[in-house]
Amino acid sequence: MKTRFTLLLILLFTLHAFAQDKTISGIVTSAEDNMPVPGVNVIVQGTIRGVSTDFDGGYSINVNKGEILEFSSLGFKTVEIQIQDQTTVNISLEPDIASLDEVVVIGYGTQKKRDLTGAIASVDAESIEKTPTANVMQSLQGKLPGVQIVSAGAPGESPTVRIRGLGSFNSGDTKVLYVVDGAFYDNIDFLNTKDIKSVNVLKDASSSAIFGVRAANGVVIIETKSGRLNSKPQIEYDGYTGIQHAQNVVKMANSEQFVTWVNESGSTADISFIDNAMQRYGRSRVNPNVPNVNTDWYDEILRNGIIQNHSISGTGGGENVSYAMGLNYFSQEGILDMKNEYERFNIRSKVDANLTDRIKVGVNSVFSNATQYKPENGAWFKAYFAVPIIPVIDEMNTDASPVRYSNAQLLGYRGTQNPFSDLTYFNNRFKIRKILANVYTEIDFIKNKLKFRTSYSHNFSALEERRVIQPYSLGNNVDRISEIKRENNTFSNQYWDNTLTFKDTFGDHDLTLLAGHSYRDEANNKFNATGQDIRGISLESSQFLDFADPESFNNKVEEIGKRFYGLSYFGRVAYSFKNRYLAYGTIRHEISSKFTKDNSDTFLGLGLGWVLTEENFMKDNGVFDFFKIRGSWGQLGNDNVDASSGANTIDVVFTDFGDQQFTGFTSTSVFNDLVWEFVEELNFGINATTFNNRLSIDADYFIRDTKRAIFPITIPVVDVTLNQNAGTIQNRGLELSLNWSDKISDDFSYTIGANFNTIKNEVTRIDNEQGYIDTGSAEFRQRTILGNPVQTFFGLERVGVYQNQAQVDADPFAANHPEANLQPGDLIYKDQNGDGFINGDDRVILGSFLPKFAYGGNIGMSYKNFDFSLSFYGQGGNKILNRKRGEIIFTNDTNIDADLAVNRWHGEGTSNSYPSSEGIRKSWNQQLSEFWIEDGDFFRIQNIQLAYNISGKSLGTNMPDARIYLTAERPFTTFKYNGFTPEVNNGVDRQTYPIPAIYTLGINLKI
Amino acid sequence: MKKIKVLFILSALVVMATSVSCSDKFDSQEGQLNAADLDYTDTNGMIEPLIGAYNVFATRHWAEPLLIAVRGDDVNAGGLGDQQPFADTDLYAYNKDYWMYNEFWNQHYSDIIDLNTAIVQVERFKEFLSENEKPLADQYIAEIKVLRAWLQFNVARVWKDVFIYETNTPADEIEANGVSSKEEVMQYLSDQMDEIASDLPDMRPNERPDLPGAVTRYTAYAMKAMANLELGNYQGVADAAGAIINSGKFSLYSDYYQLFKKPGELSDENLLEMQYSDFNSETGDRFYHLYAPFGSQNWTPARENARSGWGFYEPSMKFIKFMLDRNETIRLETSVLFTDRGILDLEADGYNSLPSFVRNTTRDGDIINDYARAKFASGKHYLPSIQLTDERDDYGGGKNFINIRYAEILLMYAEALTQGANGNGLTAAQAVNLIRQRANMPDLPSVTLDQIMDEKLAELGLEWGIRYYDMIRLGRYSELSYDGRTFSEDKAYLPYPQEQVDALPLEN
């Protein structure tokens, strides 16, 4: 590897030999502990000559008398020394605890953290790496206030990311913008977490306004690791392997509980099915009234999955070129017992070269090759409702083939219920290949002052789907012919950005000016075809469409493509006076081909800050080491939304006349042009450090309005739901984070961090006549009402359960609702309008799926060679619709969870919240009420890691530094909700993939 | 330094040039198909919106034919323990929040709007037609209006006072007209059928050379007769039905059993039918109605792999006993699929010498096994498994759904005459006896209104809620209070779905 780079160096550069008159050498140590600091950059100021310190902190460099040597390293204050006659310069570096001079990557540039006027939250590589995951966003869960991460359990799926609440109504419109080394993405599933150096989340609008129409849902800026100039090659291996285990598995009613439940239902049909089961499978010896089968379906379909990750990387740099390159392999099995896994192989290289002292070029590329076998999520749902009185395999079901799976229909049930047909006969493979390439050039027109940068990136992704359904029969005439669906989806996105940056300091003034231009071209083409009745489909080699019956392709071949262009101009001013008064402003003008109506717009951002501790009256105040107040305002756009809704389009249809197929068309006239959503946000915040920089406090309050928010408005009569720019969604909240770090002795140091945030989602304007918007289904209504959060659950308030006949008779509702035939065991609802009737007019808001608050924290300790960390996370105030339970409305001959089976009303005093088994079959109790809505609050131990570090030197020369670590990810979660996980992305839990706990053992080697 | 300046200028130029050259890309969208792309000057294309209209008409949600019929004394909700509010509806306990009501309303009205849009499309083609081609456009429009009339007729029967939409901008019409009473709707339909009848071809639907089975003049007359029957305008009924009878084009299909199966498709009896097919091909496209809700839940089909149904639609014991008491044969065999459980119940009620066709095996060899949900299933919505196309297993797959048949015309005519209207051809007894002859029932010398209504139940039972609306229309509420049910006049119409009350100027 080294040879190749040496070669590259020779090819690319003419090496100039300078005559330096003397050699300086020395040792760099840390002022804190007097330990040598390796990897410190030692550069002759104003030149590109430099070296870095070795593992013992030593360095040696040729300089001329009078030149200035600059010693810099992350986490330490930079030191400058002018060289006179000395030959040895030993430096003791002061730690930079507050890291306020730390540079933060912002849009199209960097800024000192102390100069920030907006709300930017950062996470470093070290804390990201603690989470065993394929997706870096998952590792941010609970770490940053105001950033909600909803985990995805299925391997290869990306978590849902919401920055400062839900600003758009349609979940597809809430995509966060990821800027990875200057290139734009809306999905970063291709990134290996180990390659990431830092993640910065631009939370407020003034910080992200420079990204214009792509920034409305927040911007996450990711920097990947690069090599450093003049550093020794470093080879690093990092790998972990572990096991995933389903947590908090829902307990279903067992056969005995189920039989009791059914016998109480009064449904002769359902009771007869139990008799059928006893005839077919025999009677239990323990209880002769229960069939001799007791299947725990969740137990049957779950398994433990293996997760592993191996990364090997090389970084380093010569005089003019630095490089980072690596390979990564990640694999994760799903916990659903079918072909359900994710595997990813990445190749990455990043090379930066100084062509001359003014021109720098770089190439950055990632090739990611992933294969994902998606789960058949219907199985989670079926496992919930499959009755426990059928076995997995039923040898008597001789019509079933190739496997004799049981079929509940044989007992009389409406559905086949057994989830194993989904697990065995379906195979959903996705091949996801992404090539991401970026090349840039920077030209210093005026050294350190005026710089031009041009950057071109091309992201090419090819998604190849193959869904295979094996032919099967489940008996009772339920059979399915084979089918293969192929879909190829390619994305070709190109971005060209040009920026000109001017930076200067004169007197007390510090000024940065930036002007830029950006062009984008995003194209997508999708092709799919479905064929049926494939001969010889059982062989992997025959799973191709050309084996399908040619006639089966009719109308099952589709192609669709689209292409959008965008052009933007932007500028930024950042100014600071005496490091005390800070001002920041951005402007971005956007033109997009996506929208026919109003295709251009201008977005502004403004920020002001005041560093009080720089004022004389605050200097040496004895409390705060640093105190800044800041305020900002900004505008953003959201062009993730569709360009139009509905269609003034035609659909080709066919119909039958006399057994001949005739083709015609239907047309829809319901059409609406849309424009991008427009976000405006105000943000106020403070940053402070106290107790000798040991405690840092960051707090923000924001009010973010999404104007022209797109809502689905149902046009009555035509029964078409049309998206319209029809309202305003407001999110406001408080974010607080506290971090304490201290060192007790040379051997023992610790950190404690805590964060908390509130978020209030409110629709402040709706432009339709009703003043509310209905979504969800008629049975499970979600309504968005002015002054309330989006899509709240809307139903009846539950007062209790009728305990006895006297109570029913005394209640006027019983007389007013003779059709309901109210009995003990039925729910009592609150008559909100007091008219004596319970109906749609009595519905109220029962809660929102959006959490009202979230908190997180971490403790880190390091003692000698050990380090230990623990983080936790919790959220609350949100509600979940237990839609699995709700399925009983549609098909009530199914199993239910043990909680309901055990805690049902079954006699006076047995329950005041759950109806009786008979009652739940009545439409009176099936109305959406608090009975179906549950609390989503949870608390979780997010991550525990224990590591032991071994210094290579202690083992002998040329031995690598090693770190061995044990990780428990999400080992413990507590919540009240009757489901696998309270993390339900949209609050409607029908078939959510459970989030497993992960236990891994890992090792890291560096040489 | 000079080199740098050159670079600077060059970069600036490149940036500017690109910006200019790509600005034209912002004027058009790629990848969107627009209605404006249609070529209205190509007159061959004019039939396409019409075919689309038939597709809209025949695309019915499974719940619609169930909901419209379930309250009749001829049929009960099956599927015990499933779709509880549907079973409650059968017992006249209504729930305005129930999805089926809303589905029925929505499907009907959105289809009406789609049909109105199809009319607009035909009109656009019409603009480019020569004068002598224009009548064809008028015919197409008239056909679509007949399809629309069927939908409009049913919404008014279910809810009484409803909206009439003639355009595809319903909001304007709601504001201008509000709801129309059931009488207004029926009068409107009757007038409209009069207005367009002459635009339609003078032939039987199965004589249509272009679109076999499509609407003709006589379909419009049939709609008119049905609307007038609801109005109690018996002369209007007699005139419209008489026009159909006197055309001499229609006759009863000889085999009552097969009339509801594949052989009866597009017979000379059918005035309007929704056509479904898999085009006799084992794979590939199919256009089906979902008949499963009508089917028995458990059967042993004569043809392997044929799927059973859901058991949601059960002929009532009252209907079966009524048929047995009349010594009905072919019509009972055709209307009901029996299970052993059901037969036991009949025997327990004293029906000891049941005719031989009362058994759990159909004449086509399908064995209807006992199932928990119901004791009988509908035979009129049953397709013998041996009539399925090979490899096609859906219950009733590809079977047509007859909306209006000549038998109903004859019986409406007979009723109109007994209610005092003047006939213009057959007598009431002649009309009724035509029907009885096919059913192997002896002729009646003369007929009373009661006899006609009995005949209608025997002939048209289980079809489209005809029985229920006959009883409502004639105020014979006591018939509807059967098997433990109590009917009262206020239960005649369903409450408006809550979702519609929320969205439209409606009040329950």
pLDDT per position as a tens digit, B243-259: 999 999 999 999 999 99
Residues 251-270 of chain A with CB under 8 A from chain B are 265, 267-270
Q: What is the DSSP letter of A159?
A: P
For the stretch A881-899, pLDDT in tens is: 999 998 888 777 889 999 9
Residues 939-978 of chain A with CB under 8 A from chain B are none
Helix, strand, coil shares of chain B, percent, nearest 5, are: 50, 5, 40
Statement: residue B89 has pLDDT above 60: yes
Residues 85-124 of chain B with CB under 8 A from chain A are 85, 88, 91, 93-99, 102, 106-107, 109-110, 113-114, 117-118, 120-121
Contact B350, B341 (CB under 8 A): no
Average pLDDT over residues A953-969: 85
All residues of chain B having their beta carbon less than 8 Å from the beta carbon of residue A717 are: 109-110, 113, 163, 165, 170-171, 174, 504
* Residue A979 Cα to chain centre, angstroms: 21
Q: Does B285 touch chain A (CB under 8 A)?
A: yes
Domain region containing B339 = 293-385
CA distances from A982 to A138, A708, A849 (A): 16, 31, 10
The CA distance from B465 to A481, in Å, is 37
Q: Does B474 touch chain A (CB under 8 A)?
A: no
The CA distance from A727 to A766, in Å, is 4
All residues of chain A having their beta carbon less than 8 Å from the beta carbon of residue B305 are: 473, 477, 479
In a domain, B120, yes or no: yes
Q: How far is B485 from chain A (nearest CA, A)?
A: 12
**Choice between A729 and B425, residue whose per-residue pLDDT is larger:** A729
Q: How many residues are there in chain B?
A: 508
> For helices B217-231 and B182-197, what crossing angle results, to 10°?
150
For the stretch A748-774, pLDDT in tens is: 889 999 999 999 999 999 887 777 888
In a domain, B32, yes or no: no
Residues 622-681 of chain A with CB under 8 A from chain B are 643-644, 647-651, 653-669
In a domain, B20, yes or no: no
Contact A655 B283 (CB under 8 A): no
All residues of chain B having their beta carbon less than 8 Å from the beta carbon of residue A454 are: 11
CA distances from A290 to A149, B371, B389 (A): 45, 21, 43
> Which architecture, in CATH terms, is A103-226?
Beta Complex (2.170)
For the stretch B357-396, pLDDT in tens is: 999 999 999 999 988 888 999 999 999 999 999 989 999 9
The mean predicted confidence, pLDDT, of chain B is 90
Pick the last residue of a domain from B354, B385, B416: B385
Q: What are phi and psi of B64, to 5 degrees?
A: -65, -55
Statement: residue A227 has pLDDT above 70: yes
Same domain? B77 vs B111: yes
Q: Which of B23, B51, B206 sits opposite A662 (nearest CB)?
A: B51
Q: What are phi and psi of B140, to 5 degrees?
A: -60, -45
For the stretch B282-328, pLDDT in tens is: 877 889 999 999 999 889 999 988 998 989 999 999 999 999 999 99
Which residue from B48, B52, B58, B149 is spatially nearest to B399, judged by alpha carbons?
B58
Q: How many residues are there in chain A?
A: 1007
Contact A649 B15 (CB under 8 A): no
Interior/surface letters A549-582, b for 16+ CB within 10 angstroms, e for the rest: beebbeebeeeeeebbbbbbbbbbebebeeeeeb
Statement: residue A2 has pLDDT above 60: no
Statement: residue A126 has pLDDT above 70: yes
The CA distance from A677 to A281, in Å, is 60
**Choice between B18 and A167, residue whose per-residue pLDDT is larger:** A167
Same domain? B140 vs B189: yes
Q: Does B284 touch chain A (CB under 8 A)?
A: yes
Statement: residue A475 has pLDDT above 90: no
Burial of A170 (0-12, 13-18, 19+ CB in 10 A): middle
In a domain, B18, yes or no: no
Q: Which of A565, A770, A840 sits opposite B26 (nearest CB)?
A: A565
**Choice between A997 and B44, residue whose per-residue pLDDT is larger:** A997
Statement: residue A14 has pLDDT above 70: no
Contact B34 A649 (CB under 8 A): yes
Q: How far is B432 from chain A (nearest CA, A)?
A: 30
Same domain? B317 vs B365: yes
Q: How far is A399 from chain B (nearest CA, A)?
A: 10
Count: domains in chain B: 2
The CA distance from A341 to A332, in Å, is 6
User: Quick one: what percent of chain B has pLDDT higher than 70?
Assistant: 92
Contact A967, A242 (CB under 8 A): yes
Q: Does B345 touch chain A (CB under 8 A)?
A: no
Structure confidence at residue A11 (pLDDT): 39
Q: Which two tokens stand for residue B64?
A: 């619609």
Structure confidence at residue B7 (pLDDT): 59
Which residue from A581, A682, A580, A680 is spatially nearest to A631, judged by alpha carbons?
A682
Q: Please, where in chain A does CATH 2.170.130.10 lie?
A: 103-226
Same domain? B93 vs B214: yes
Q: Does A477 touch chain B (CB under 8 A)?
A: yes
pLDDT interval class at B13 (50, 70, 90): low
Same domain? B134 vs B253: yes
Burial of B505 (0-12, 13-18, 19+ CB in 10 A): exposed
Same domain? B48 vs B143: yes
Q: Which of A109-118, A181-190, A664-673, A745-754 has the lowest mean pLDDT?
A: A664-673
Same domain? B56 vs B157: yes
Q: How far is B117 from chain A (nearest CA, A)?
A: 7
Q: Please, where in chain A does CATH 2.60.40.1120 lie?
A: 19-93
Structure confidence at residue A26 (pLDDT): 87
Q: Does A188 touch chain B (CB under 8 A)?
A: no
Contact B275 A273 (CB under 8 A): no
For the stretch B429-443, pLDDT in tens is: 999 999 999 999 999
Pick the last residue of a domain from B385, B410, B425: B385
Same domain? B176 vs B248: yes
Residue pointed to by tokens 């720098």: A360
Q: Which of B54, B266, B283 sits opposite A532 (nearest CB)?
A: B283
The amino acid that residue A917 corresponds to is S
In a domain, B243, yes or no: yes
Strands A321-333 and A305-317: antiparallel
The amino acid that residue A958 corresponds to is N
Statement: residue A15 has pLDDT above 50: no
The CA distance from A55 to A40, in Å, is 10
Residue A957: partners with Cβ closer than 8 Å, 6 or more residues away: none
Q: Does A235 touch chain B (CB under 8 A)?
A: no
Same domain? B81 vs B185: yes
Average pLDDT over residues A339-357: 94
Statement: residue B33 has pLDDT above 50: no
For the stretch A372-416, pLDDT in tens is: 999 999 899 899 989 999 999 999 999 998 999 999 989 988 889
Same domain? B464 vs B428: yes
Which range is most confident: A296-310, A407-421, B14-28? A296-310
Statement: residue A7 has pLDDT above 80: no
Contact A593 B29 (CB under 8 A): yes
Which residue from B217, B267, B284, B207 is spatially nearest to B246, judged by alpha carbons?
B217
User: Quick one: what percent of chain B has pLDDT higher than 90?
Assistant: 75
Which residue from B442, B441, B416, B439 is spatially nearest to B427, judged by alpha carbons?
B416
CATH number assigned to the domain comprising residue B167:
1.25.40.390
**Global model pTM greater than 0.90:** no
Same domain? B249 vs B106: yes
CA distances from A334 to A154, A161, A247, A296 (A): 6, 21, 13, 19
Structure confidence at residue A13 (pLDDT): 40
Structure confidence at residue A592 (pLDDT): 84
User: Quick one: what percent of chain A has pLDDT higher than 90?
Assistant: 51
Instruction: Classify B433 as helix, strand or coil.
Output: helix
For A495-535, the DSSP string reads EEEEEEEEEEEETTEEEEEEEEEEEEEEEEEEEEEEEE--T
CATH topology of domain A19-93: Immunoglobulin-like (2.60.40)
Contact A565 B504 (CB under 8 A): no
CA distances from B423 to A176, B241, B440 (A): 75, 10, 26
Long-range contacts of A687-690 (CB under 8 A, 24+ apart): A687/A116, A687/A626, A687/A627, A687/A628, A687/A630, A688/A624, A688/A626, A688/A627, A688/A628, A689/A98, A689/A100, A689/A624, A689/A625, A689/A626, A690/A623, A690/A624, A690/A625
Contact A98, A693 (CB under 8 A): yes
Statement: residue A4 has pLDDT above 50: no
The CA distance from A85 to B39, in Å, is 90
Please give the residue of chain B at the shortest CA–CA distance from A592.
Answer: B26
Contact A923 B98 (CB under 8 A): yes
Please give the residue of chain A at the shortest CA–CA distance from B28.
Answer: A593
Taking the CB of residue B230, how many other CB atoms lie within 10 A of it?
A: 21
Statement: residue A199 has pLDDT above 80: yes
